[in-house]
Structure 1
């Protein structure tokens, strides 16, 4: 009886533990949507994320100021290089990427806003438990407010809101996430990028995962 009581107390204690900041899986493949508060920017993208090798691939289609655009980029943070790729024309633009890689994670100084179930908690498999965090990010020459939601188990990203002076609130929603790399070759520059020359006249470098949008 005492052993049963102890087991119950331990179980209740585990369930009552406060959620802690976490890091997302190091290897992720999936899709995302992004939009801005001023409604000027709307986009849908497929992404490949490799925190171990510090590499990100984005294939995006969207609109800005009612003009449609496409974007296909490969970010190689350890090499300090960004490739803007046109597979249709077999061309590459090579740019400097001299910022540190920032993995998808909840910062340690984040504050827990709350915990909720997406979907339903009425039955098994009908919902997913998520945690929402808020805080501030130190970005290039400014501080940005953020609100980020991740799954309680696995720390898989669900959505992130970042406030910037230029666009107001920027909302990113992740879906169809798969842990692992479905096609690792997409994180290697295409053969036609081999002779691409580094553009030394660019005015600004991407800073983190969200600054491309």
Structure 2
């Protein structure tokens, strides 16, 4: 697992740009599944997500049936334009409201990302056995880390590598559909209304540290 992460990181950092006209695309509305792993191969979280590309809202709910004792039980609702994150506990009808200082997240390419290269995953010669991807890289807020992400030609995210101190993450996106199946998931639950801001969260990724 560690070797695979290092190979992906090496590709991100050493690949050369073949065309200068590429501009970062932006993901559409999506639902799907997301897994977050660290370099030790530990699954920090696995679950479903719903993403509103227009309103910049994301709901992530971890799957309790994930067969690992390292996966965190999380239910997060993030409003990136507002810089607000809710940690939700539906069972106990409680939540914590936090402030996001960094609005970067794994489902969209930042506007200042640098194009790295185009790659064919699978077979470049067999149409049914290939996935054409573009790779992008850049720095995180205040240059405290770096990222490299791969997306399809339709700007659907496939995987993202975040290299930060003290922890690095590999995020994989699967079973993506280009719609919002349940808009209610992106609404603040009634029991969260009026909650004071309890603490500041540096970024989305702090929830997995």
Q: TM-score, normalised by structure 1?
A: 0.73
Residue 108 of structure 2 corresponds to residue 108 of structure 1: no
Count of residue correspondences: 187
Matches within 5 A, 1:27-42: 27-39=29-41, 42=44
Could you tell me which residue of structure 2 aligns to residue 13 of structure 1? none
Name the SS of the counterpart of 2:54 in structure 1: coil
The answer on whether the counterparts of 1:34 and 1:42 sit within 8 Å (CA) in structure 2 is: yes
> d(CA) in 2 for partners of 1:131 and 1:174?
15
Q: TM-score, normalised by structure 2?
A: 0.74
More helix by share: 2
Name the SS of the counterpart of 1:125 in structure 2: helix
Relative to 1, partners in 2 of residues 1:28 and 1:20: Cα closer, same or farther, differing over 3 Å? Answer: same
Could you tell me which residue of structure 2 aligns to residue 6 of structure 1? none
> d(CA) in 2 for partners of 1:183 and 1:143?
35
Deviation at 1:177, TM superposition (A): 1.1
The answer on whether the counterparts of 2:140 and 2:146 sit within 8 Å (CA) in structure 1 is: yes
Relative to 1, partners in 2 of residues 1:164 and 1:102: Cα closer, same or farther, differing over 3 Å? Answer: closer
More strand by share: 1
The answer on whether the counterparts of 1:72 and 1:86 sit within 8 Å (CA) in structure 2 is: yes
Q: What runs of 5+ residues in structure 1 fail to find an aligned partner?
A: 1-15
Q: Which of 136, 139, 143 is the matching residue for 1:136?
A: 139
Deviations 1:39-66 (A, max 9, x none): 4553212111123112110112589xx6
Name the SS of the counterpart of 2:145 in structure 1: strand
Structure possessing the higher radius of gyration over alpha carbons:
1
Q: What runs of 5+ residues in structure 2 fail to find an aligned partner?
A: 1-17
Relative to 1, partners in 2 of residues 1:157 and 1:19: Cα closer, same or farther, differing over 3 Å? Answer: farther
Name the SS of the counterpart of 1:43 in structure 2: strand
Deviations 1:106-147 (A, max 9, x none): 5435141x32212223333321101222332225xx421222
